[in-house]
Chain A
């Protein structure tokens, strides 16, 4: 099972700044193991961030996003105490959802 994301959501002026770290191999499918076998691609394909049920960011990722991905962005309209929910789905169909409170 995957580890929880590390999410920080903080109010900066009238914007909410979201910073998230995800635990994921982001394997490219280009590498070989010690026996010379290709290590299959395994990577997050979709990330959706919602605030009060409304999507504030939707991303599609390829294998070139770095291992243990980091993402930062800002949206308007958040208030302290609101929840920000982040979900990812990888190419194996594994999913994970975590949330944080805007501070």
Chain B
């Protein structure tokens, strides 16, 4: 049954990808890309990668799609016909694809338990992490503890993405009443429902943040979900009102604070006499030290990701609103 579901979902993915190639309406392309992300997240669930599915559904299907839609509002929604012939790209793609298919024949067969991937460090993570780190969710253990330094790097990458987007676009603070048409003004029902839904979303984000040690979830996902709540508010009520709730300036402070919180945990453990990000030093008992460390760094990641995603959305949204006025 699992193979059957896998096959059906992969077939749907292939059809969606093929359709994206031939569509000229970019709105439809972006919507199909959202479906593509949802479908790949479903495949991740089916392949046991629940944490990855969580991230893909919230980040890939949510934030990416919203950002692409915001860009389309600025750049126009139809693709013009390319003057170049498509023979050469097709040839390149067929040759590369053929080479890759030939390459897969040397790969270990799908799903066997004695594949090389499962033999090096993976058994240690699976067997030792529940006792060494003390968390049931192995993905969180590896992400936040064993590979904590790597995750710090990823957080810095996300932070620098915000710096890049803001230096390219900039956030324009607008005067109140400048754009009276801002937001989905005529949709009264949406206004009421959004007010009902947003607290639920924020509650769920907090649950994901602090339950990530025991189930799927963690700082990355929680940050994105919390940002999604504010994005919903900005979409329905307009950017100026969203700016009144969370100022863009505050977000920049928050993003830096999250990264610094993460790094300071590492420095604190060095001060205590351990290595950088050695959580065992944070408390008398190594297990509770691990617990404190993971909770604090996940909080740092969550704050940074929330602030970065929301300020990137602000940047795109204020561009779109400005072009709408002109």
Note whether A and B form a binding pair.
no
Q: Which residues of B contact A (CB under 8 A)?
A: none
Q: Which residues from chain A sit less than 8 Å from chain B, CB to CB?
A: none
